[in-house]
Amino acid sequence: ADAGLAARLAHAIDNKTKPRGSLGVLETLAHQIGLVQRTTAPAIEAPAILVFAGDHGVVAEGISAFPQDVTWQMVENFLAGGAAINVFAAQNGCTLQVVDAGVAHDFGPRDGLTDRKIAHGTRNFAVEPAMTPGQCTQARGAGAALVDALPGNVIGFGEMGIGNTTAAAALMHKLTGIPAAACVGAGTGLAPDGVLRKGRVIEAAAARHAGVTEPLDVLATFGGFEIAMMAGAMLRAAERRMVLLIDGFIVTSALLVAARLQPAILDYCVFAHCSNEHGHRQMLEALGGKPLLQLDLRLGEGTGSALALPLVHAAVNFLNRMATFASAQVSEKS
Amino acid sequence: ADAGLAARLAHAIDNKTKPRGSLGVLETLAHQIGLVQRTTAPAIEAPAILVFAGDHGVVAEGISAFPQDVTWQMVENFLAGGAAINVFAAQNGCTLQVVDAGVAHDFGPRDGLTDRKIAHGTRNFAVEPAMTPGQCTQARGAGAALVDALPGNVIGFGEMGIGNTTAAAALMHKLTGIPAAACVGAGTGLAPDGVLRKGRVIEAAAARHAGVTEPLDVLATFGGFEIAMMAGAMLRAAERRMVLLIDGFIVTSALLVAARLQPAILDYCVFAHCSNEHGHRQMLEALGGKPLLQLDLRLGEGTGSALALPLVHAAVNFLNRMATFASAQVSEKS
């Protein structure tokens, strides 16, 4: 059935009024979305970006350029509509849901904030596991349940969490074997000596937790609540045959965990953007991901996914709306 | 005044709630558009894509994979709304104007077609100059007048013309000195031996017209009516301080001519896409252009510009709509 569908999709794409292959990666994307939705006439319905926020005990090691309070302050900024992701999601017709996965701050009941707080930040993985196995399970389950409540068929992932490039780099190091020094970057703007320290913190923690190798154990030991919640959400979204928009270093680290648990998830993933965060390109390569955009962004929040959404629409639209050589009576290649 | 504005733009961009520089090329783009529009609060108004169609006498040399009739057939497809550019322009809120600059076909009066036909195709530049100096002047003037009639402040350029990658490659070879073999590519899908022939046709023509070196003479000798009309439109658009969206091999060749006449035009240009047409990357480098997108497109029609338009909106929107560190009470870098 899938081979038949793939052939029908290729035929539909090749017969549009354009030289064969001339829409480049949009053709690949249209083909992929057709397979995900099991149709030659795919449709994008109610795209949503979920931004997961969480704090990280590892900030005690001095691995971030910004103070931890920025996590909750930026959540407030999301709720007030003043962050980059608010602007880009609104522009491109994408709903935005802000989730407290584990911020070290009491927001109280707040309109527009989805409270799924696991705890007030993780523990410091330089000293002890970031979370308990139970907390990790709870976070993944909460992510899956959020996906079940979505009406649409495209989900983008975003995150906010001071210190979370350190957690993501640790996951990358443990799950790919790439040296810690190649996994760490400047994050929000760390100076070179800080980046070196970040690498040493990860190396020391990896040595301390050397026996931890199973993906879920690695996630619990080094991850963050927002990362675990995203991993759970991603797995459920693929089960529901949604298109997953993947951007950014931290979002991609959640996918790295999810793909170790369920490799077929990659069939559902559209890689939105290759970040300027050092290590992201290698992380994408480890997943075989080819990003649509390279805009030198290094902001997170799901901004790359929001910005790539028009290209996803373009892929679906050309497949549904362009004339064929026959219908338009255009001569084919001689 | 401009130095002051540049400083105010940089300050406005740096004070948005994001790590400094973390919006990458969107920051560069916002800064550029602010300078073009002479304001720290730029606005995109009524973006338009003009698709210029023309035929080329050089097709007699067998340098295209598709028959010449495809030019007028694709114009009909544009008018019927079935081409890729129709789909992408409509999706991204961009008006589309289709201009007959010199198609070798009688359309008769047609709703939706702007008739500025200079002649039924150019002459074969392998034998004689493609157009007369008078025709070249007429084409540039027609392009400028079309720009004067536009209500908006962003213009994208598109084209259709079987044979026009050969004309564009000849312009590139003559104006940059890059060897013809590095300027030619597969166009709509020429086989490798055809690409070699195309290179030889250009070399022979360049030898035949060796004394032609001034940009306008080069344009008249090797160009096309659609290319000359675009060059005239570009120069007027820059005079009117519009943002020019440049994509594709043929559109960029028109800019190459325009930039030789008026180098300051480059301040107004946003490079939308690096095409898969061989030679485009080197042509962009010759102009110092850094394209926003690399989607392996090689279709023309202005598709890259239509697809890049959401990024232009994103640049303007983050500058106008994001909160500042102060307004959002977010802590700055420690």
Instruction: Read off the pLDDT of residues B151-169 as tens digits, 9 standing for 90 and up.
Output: 999 999 999 999 999 999 9
Q: Give the residue-averaged pLDDT of A306-320.
A: 98
**Residue A188 to residue B25, Cβ atoms within 8 A:** no
Same domain for B38 and B97? no
CA–CA separation, A254 vs A51, rounded Å? 13
- In the numeric block, the tokens 């558009």 are attached to B33
Give the mean pLDDT of chain A.
Answer: 96
**Residue A298 to residue B22, Cβ atoms within 8 A:** yes
- Which tokens sit at A246? 């993947």
DSSP H helices in chain B: 2-14, 24-37, 69-80, 84-91, 133-148, 164-176, 180-183, 192-208, 215-222, 225-239, 249-261, 280-287, 303-321, 325-328
Answer yes or no: is A333 within a domain.
no
Same domain for B138 and B250? yes
Beta strands in chain A (DSSP E): 48-54, 95-102, 113-115, 154-160, 243-247, 269-273
- Which tokens sit at B190? 């020429």
Same domain for B90 and B102? yes
CA–CA separation, A267 vs A89, rounded Å? 24
Instruction: Provide the angle, in degrees to the nearest 10, between the axes of the packed helices B192-208 and B164-176.
Output: 50
Answer whether A184's CB lies under 8 Å from A166's CB: yes
DSSP state letter for A81: T
CA-based nearest distance A80→chain B, Å: 8
Answer yes or no: is B53 within a domain.
yes
Closest residue in B to A311 (Cα) is: B307
Same domain for A274 and A176? yes
Catalytic residue among B159, B285, B301, B332: B301
Answer whether B50's CB lies under 8 Å from B33's CB: no
Q: Is the pLDDT of residue A334 over 80?
A: no
Q: Which of A31, A88, A280 should be substituted to probe chain B, the one whose Cβ sees the most B Cβ atoms within 10 Å?
A: A88
DSSP state letter for A323: P
pLDDT of residue A173: 98
pLDDT of residue B2: 84
pLDDT digits (tens, 9 = 90+) for A134-157: 999 999 999 999 999 999 999 999
CA-based nearest distance A17→chain B, Å: 6
What residues in A contact B318, CB-CB < 8 Å?
84, 87-88
Give the mean pLDDT of chain B.
Answer: 96
How many Cβ pairs closer than 8 A exist between chain A and B? 182
Q: Which helix (H) or strand (E) holds A215?
A: helix A215-222
Query: Which residues does B97 contact at the CB level (< 8 Å), separation at least 6?
Result: B48, B49, B50, B51, B114, B146
Sheet order of strands, B113-115 included: B113-115, B95-102, B48-54, B154-160, B243-247, B269-273
Count CA within 13 A, CB hemisphere, residue A253. 33
Same domain for B161 and B19? no
Q: Give the residue-averaged pLDDT of B37-53.
A: 98
pLDDT of residue A332: 84
Query: Which residues does B35 contact at the CB level (< 8 Å), separation at least 6?
Result: B2, B5, B6, B9, B267
Question: Which of B198, B63, B64, B224 has its CA nearest to residue B129?
Answer: B224
Same domain for A31 and A59? no
pLDDT of residue A1: 57
Q: Give the residue-averaged pLDDT of A215-232.
A: 98
Same domain for B250 and B186? yes
What 3-state class would DSSP assign to B245? Answer: strand
- Which tokens sit at A330? 């255009």
pLDDT of residue B64: 92
Q: Which domain holds residue B90?
A: 48-315
Q: Which helix (H) or strand (E) holds A35?
A: helix A24-37
Query: Which residues does B272 contact at the CB level (< 8 Å), separation at least 6?
Result: B156, B245, B246, B247, B291, B292, B293, B304, B305, B307, B308
Answer yes or no: is B308 within a domain.
yes
Same domain for A154 and A7? no
Q: Is the pLDDT of residue A333 over 90?
A: no
Catalytic residue among A239, A285, A301, A332: A301
pLDDT of residue A281: 95
pLDDT digits (tens, 9 = 90+) for A46-65: 999 999 999 999 999 999 98
Which candidate from A19, A24, A87 shows the least CB-CB separation from B317? A87
Which candidate from B17, B310, B330 shows the least CB-CB separation from A310? B310
pLDDT digits (tens, 9 = 90+) for A82-96: 999 999 999 999 999
Read off the CATH number of the domain in which A23 is found.
1.10.1610.10
Q: Give the residue-averaged pLDDT of B265-286.
A: 96
Same domain for B99 and B55? yes
Answer yes or no: is A52 within a domain.
yes
CA-based nearest distance A56→chain B, Å: 17
Answer yes or no: is B333 within a domain.
no
Higher pLDDT, B2 or A30: A30
DSSP state letter for A324: B
Give catalytic status of residue B301 as yes or no.
yes
CB atoms within 10 A of CB B217: 16
pLDDT of residue B1: 57
Interface pTM (ipTM) of the complex? 0.96
Answer yes or no: is A34 within a domain.
yes
Number of domains into which chain A is organized = 2
Beta strands in A169-268 (DSSP E): 243-247
Q: What percentage of chain A carries pLDDT values higher than 90?
A: 96
Kindly report the backbone phi and psi dihedral angles of residue A115, in degrees, each rounded to the nearest multiple of 5, phi listed first: -90, 105
pLDDT digits (tens, 9 = 90+) for A1-45: 589 999 999 999 999 999 999 999 999 999 999 999 999 999 999
Answer whether B333's CB lies under 8 Å from A188's CB: yes
Question: CA separation (Å) from A21 to B196, B286, B297?
Answer: 21, 27, 8
Q: Give the residue-averaged pLDDT of B20-44.
A: 98
Q: Is the pLDDT of residue A227 over 60?
A: yes
Answer whether A154's CB lies under 8 Å from A88's CB: no
Answer yes or no: is B334 within a domain.
no
CA–CA separation, B330 vs B334, rounded Å? 12
Q: Is the pLDDT of residue B334 over 80?
A: no
Sign (positive/negative) of CA torsion A22, A25, A26, A31? positive
Q: Work out the pLDDT band at B290, boundaries 50, 70, 90.
A: very high
Q: Work out the pLDDT band at B332, boundaries 50, 70, 90.
A: confident
pLDDT of residue B333: 80
Q: Work out the pLDDT band at A215, boundaries 50, 70, 90.
A: very high
Q: Is the pLDDT of residue B118 over 70?
A: yes
pLDDT of residue B261: 98
CA–CA separation, A271 vs A248, rounded Å? 9
CA–CA separation, A303 vs A158, rounded Å? 7
Same domain for B297 and B187? yes
Q: Work out the pLDDT band at A248, boundaries 50, 70, 90.
A: very high
What residues in A contact B274, CB-CB < 8 Å?
none
Answer yes or no: is B257 within a domain.
yes
Same domain for A103 and A35? no
Read off the CATH number of the domain in which A189 is found.
3.40.50.10210
Same domain for A181 and A131? yes
pLDDT digits (tens, 9 = 90+) for A252-292: 999 999 999 999 999 999 999 999 889 999 999 999 999 99
